[in-house]
Amino acid sequence: MIVFDLQCRYGCGTFEAWFRSSTDYESQREAALVQCPFCQTADVAKAPMAPRVPKKSSGSPLARLAALQSEMLKDSRWVGDRFAETARAMHSGEMERELVHGNATIEQAKSLADDGIPVAPLPLPVPPPSQVN
Ligand SMILES: [Zn+2]
């Protein structure tokens, strides 16, 4: 199924219509089966596509995950590429323990885990603070 934003030639506005495919849309439109829901004219055309902005909804799984992650990272310090060495230094007692997050390669994460240093992958990628506006 495919959804198109359609526009009535008489200015009623845009509306959404579902089709099996874009060829299905073409043939239905040629057969005048696609009609404006407001004035029933078959004189409709595809509306200019607007970028679909995700709706701000706290209900979406991704939004919930993002909220969860920012809650997790609230008290955590960004250490960037120094994550592995920071985690190791804290584990060996060279550094005071604190919550940190940063970048680590799969190899680094594996080697930390092998040494019994608890690391957990974050559900979502975190942009370095320098890249956040
Ligand atoms: Zn209309």
Write out pLDDT tens, residues 76-108: 889 999 999 999 999 999 999 888 888 888 889
CA of 8 to the centre of ligand 1 (A): 5
Confidence grade of residue 61 (pLDDT, cut at 50, 70, 90): confident
Residues 96 and 88 sit within 8 Å (Cβ to Cβ): no
Is residue 5 over pLDDT 80? yes
Instruction: Give the pLDDT confidence of 13-52 residue by residue, as tens digits.
Output: 899 999 999 899 999 999 999 999 999 999 999 987 655 5
Predicted local confidence at residue 50, as pLDDT: 57
Q: Which long-range contacts (C-beta less than 8 Å, at least 24 apart) are formed by 106-111? A: 108/83, 108/84, 109/84, 111/84
Expressed in angstroms and rounded, the spacing between residue 27 Cα and the centre of ligand 1 is: 20
CA 16 to ligand 1 center in whole angstroms: 13
Distance 9 CA to ligand 1 centre (A): 7
C-alpha 53 – ligand 1 centre gap (Å): 25
